[in-house]
Amino acid sequence: MIYDVYSEACPTRLVLDRLADKWVLLVLGRLTEGPMRFNHLRREIEGVSQKVLSQTLKRLERDGLVTRQAFPTVPVTVEYAITPLGRTLSETAQALARWAETNIEAVMAAQAAYDAQAGGQTSRATT
């Protein structure tokens, strides 16, 4: 079967929607460095809430991109690791993060120019 993300009914559209998520990209990026406990991940990814990180990890586990292993300590220790499939995705995801880090200044300059120009304009048609 041929998959096409531009087709509305194609299941790849759902996956693309899932992957195109800031937290997914950041979690996978950190897990490429090695398995990590929940609380460690949470500290590494500034600004993520416990609830959102927990949901993100559960979705990634369901998608086969991350594994979850519980150790019978008191309290239970849970470690997350990236799968080989997740690693192939992470390389792509990392490229997006790197793009943001490399080109942020160009984007901010464009935004400033746009805002300066838009301030002097009346409303325009958008279609």
Which residues of the shown chain bind a copy of itself in the complex (CB under 8 A)? Answer: 3-9, 11-13, 15-17, 19-22, 24-26, 29-30, 38-39, 44-47, 50, 54, 57-58, 61-65, 70, 76, 78, 85, 88-89, 92-93, 95-97, 99-101, 103-104, 106-111, 113-115, 124-127
Query: Shortest approach of a copy of itself to residue 82 CB, angstroms?
Result: 13
Cβ at position 66, least distance to a copy of itself in Å: 10
Give the type of residue at 84: P
Q: Parallel, antiparallel, or unpaired for β 66-71 and 36-37?
A: unpaired
CB closer to a copy of itself, 13 vs 35? 13
- CB-wise, 64 or 81, nearer to a copy of itself? 64
Question: What CA–CA distance (Å, rounded) separates 22 from 24?
Answer: 6
For 15, the 3-state DSSP assignment is helix
Smallest distance, a copy of itself to C-beta of residue 5, A: 5
Contact call for residues 67 and 113 (beta carbons, < 8 A): no
The terminus-to-terminus CA distance of the chain in angstroms comes to: 35
Neighbours of 13 (CB within 10 A): 15
Residue type, 28: L
Q: How far is the CB of 112 from a copy of itself (least distance, A)?
A: 10
